Structure 1
Amino acid sequence: MSSYSRQDVLRILQISARQLQGWERAGLIDPQQTYTFQDLGQLRILRGLREDDVPAASIRHSIRAMKAVAGMTNPLLEATVVRTGSTRIAFRHLGAMVDPIRRQLLFDFERAGQKEAMAEPAPLRPRGVDPQRNQQDLFLAAVQAEEAGERQRAIGLYEQIIAADPTYAAAFINLGTIYFHLRQYGRAEELYRRATEVDPDYVLAFFDLGNVLDELDRPEESIAAYEQAVALAPRYGDAHYNLALAYERKGDLRNALRHWQSYLRLDRTGPWADHARGQIRKLLSREKLAIAWRAEKYVAPPSGKSALRLAKSWESE
């Protein structure tokens, strides 16, 4: 595989050393001395986004959220970046367009336009409504209503979609999220559960269900939902984070530690990573104290090794 030096990258992409260092400090790419062809592809995308004045923080948060939602290693290369506003981006992946920050599916205006432009003239047929096309139009209208702040209109449209197609999982999720923000948690739970039933592989549905069950103070059910999300997408960082919090509240420190460590392996920079490190230090310190308190008498460690080895080996699990 070809490798490129930092100077090669600056020359090929026509960027300055200061720009590259700024992207590294912002957490958009890991600092390194040599780069692969894939790295060049990622940097080209970053350059385009920054030239379009998309804030570095917005790019970083969207990448992190997409890793969590889709279990991706590098969303900039594994999905197509789509600009959705002056400061926001979404990702096109597996035929759908995802806003990872809001955890919602969006209507893909560009793809819809392409399909219409490329379609062959339809044969004459009796007038009527194409059910699939009608559902797409309704979903688009619901998303637009949400964007415009017309919450009640969006609710009505999502309800209409669900009534016509009880398997439309994306509508259940988006409608559930509206009710979640309205603090109507019972209704949100019902909608999220329906999404998990109609699509048992829908990772986001289990994550959102875990969130609402947590709000309803039902920790065992919440943990079960988060665990299912992690089972479906082991690289779902947000699910590991919430699981760690849930296990801590339950008093299950060993499982809390395990999920804090899993989260930190997926996200090593930023405030959430700093919080995870702090919790790991606290839990390890607490375990050392617990081990010392349980000991009935002093037992010298074999071969002069430190008695703290137990805690350290646990940390690396």
Structure 2
Amino acid sequence: MPTYTLKDAEALLGIPRSVATRLVSEGIITPTRGPRRALLFTFQDMVLLRTANSLHDAKIPTRLIVRALARVKASRGAGQPLTGVRIRAMGNEVATRDEGREGWQAVSGQMLMDFEPGDPGAAMVQSLHDARPPAADAQDWFLIGAELETEKPIDAEAAYRRALAAEPTFLDPYLNLGCMMCDARRFGDAAELYRSGISQLPSEPLLHFNLAVALEDQERPGEALTSYERCIQLAPDFADAHFNAAHIYETLGNGMRAIRHFNEYRKLQR
């Protein structure tokens, strides 16, 4: 299994040494020791360090990052990895979502009803890019759906579907509706929607990427990997696709391919 030094973590992820070492000293991450007692991180550790760095970039104080991740770790129980939890910054707080739970504030445990997809770990991608201007009716229904997402998700879904009926090649409704479905844990519905989108827009890398994320949430890593690889074929500079593919390859025990994709991610981050 490949390992990474603290210097690697700083270079690849951009995480400040002070944040990484604080996570180690607090027991959030437990790396092994190499020659001269150098810290050696696993790929799972690197995923968590990447999440911590995203929170740091969002101006979350280090002490709050540590407290939040410590509480999440305690809630998972012994032996349960933190990489299964979706973690993101929400304003000046750290919000999480775990299996079987709604969004909750990591430090206080308070429920967050407006938790949205798009966390730093395995984030769903939302985009306002479209290959060409959609029909007027489709655009109108899309805007209605966007306005209704928070308060009336059922009506929002109906509006997005009306937009797609009017313009099947309109990218944005696929992305927004798919993210809504995944946020509601309707991963199978999301995957079906993304496949429908791919049938209309086969060369759109965002659809392949989001399909891969939905398949990962269904615990179908092999199929997810195929979609990540297709995304990378279409967009070789899609950094998150390389990172997520590396994570799956590492989990499946294919260290060589994991390293190859992680090196591509590193080059793109530079």
- Counterpart AA for 1:267: Q
Q: Distance in 1 between matches of 2:147 and 2:137?
A: 15
Q: Distance in 2 between matches of 1:102 and 1:240?
A: 15
1:152 Cα deviation from its structure 2 partner = 2.0
CA contact (8 A) 1:107 1:143 kept: no
3-state SS of the aligned residue for 1:167?
Answer: coil
When residues 232 and 107 of structure 1 are mapped into structure 2, their CA distance, relative to the original with a 3 A threshold, is closer
Unaligned runs of 5+ in 1: 1-24, 28-55, 60-85, 88-98, 113-130, 269-317
Q: Distance in 2 between matches of 1:216 and 1:107?
A: 27
Q: Which residue of the partner structure matches residue 170 of structure 2?
A: 168
Calculate the TM-score normalised by the size of structure 1. 0.44
Q: Which residue of the partner structure matches residue 218 of structure 2?
A: 216
1:252 corresponds to 2:257: no
1:245 Cα deviation from its structure 2 partner = 0.6
1:246 Cα deviation from its structure 2 partner = 0.6
CA contact (8 A) 1:177 1:188 kept: yes
Q: Distance in 2 between matches of 1:238 and 1:107?
A: 18
Query: How many pairs are equivalent?
Result: 158
Unaligned runs of 5+ in 2: 1-13, 17-55, 60-90, 93-117
1:132 corresponds to 2:135: yes
Q: Distance in 2 between matches of 1:237 and 1:133?
A: 34
Q: Which residue of the partner structure matches residue 104 of structure 1?
A: 126
When residues 167 and 107 of structure 1 are mapped into structure 2, their CA distance, relative to the original with a 3 A threshold, is closer
When residues 251 and 201 of structure 1 are mapped into structure 2, their CA distance, relative to the original with a 3 A threshold, is same
Q: Which residue of the partner structure matches residue 41 of structure 1?
A: none
**Structure 1 moving runs of 4+ over 4 Å:** 99-102
1:107 Cα deviation from its structure 2 partner = 9.3
1:58 Cα deviation from its structure 2 partner = 5.3
3-state SS of the aligned residue for 1:104?
Answer: coil
> Which is bigger in relative contact order (C-alpha 8 A, separation at least 6)?
2
1:163 Cα deviation from its structure 2 partner = 2.8
1:178 Cα deviation from its structure 2 partner = 0.7
Q: Distance in 2 between matches of 1:168 and 1:189?
A: 17
Q: Which residue of the partner structure matches residue 243 of structure 2?
A: 241
- Higher fraction of helix: 1
Q: Which residue of the partner structure matches residue 180 of structure 1?
A: 182
CA RMSD of aligned residues (A): 3.4
1:162 Cα deviation from its structure 2 partner = 2.2
CA contact (8 A) 2:208 2:227 kept: yes
3-state SS of the aligned residue for 2:127?
Answer: strand
Deviation digits for residues 92-142 of structure 1 (CA, Å, limit 9, x no counterpart)? xxxxxxx9986323499xxx9xxxxxxxxxxxxxxxxxx921211111111
Deviation digits for residues 185-206 of structure 1 (CA, Å, limit 9, x no counterpart)? 1100000111111111111100
Q: Which residue of the partner structure matches residue 147 of structure 2?
A: 144
Q: State which structure, 1 or 2, has the greater radius of gyration over its C-alpha atoms.
A: 1
When residues 189 and 107 of structure 1 are mapped into structure 2, their CA distance, relative to the original with a 3 A threshold, is closer
CA contact (8 A) 1:207 1:226 kept: yes
Calculate the TM-score normalised by the size of structure 2. 0.51
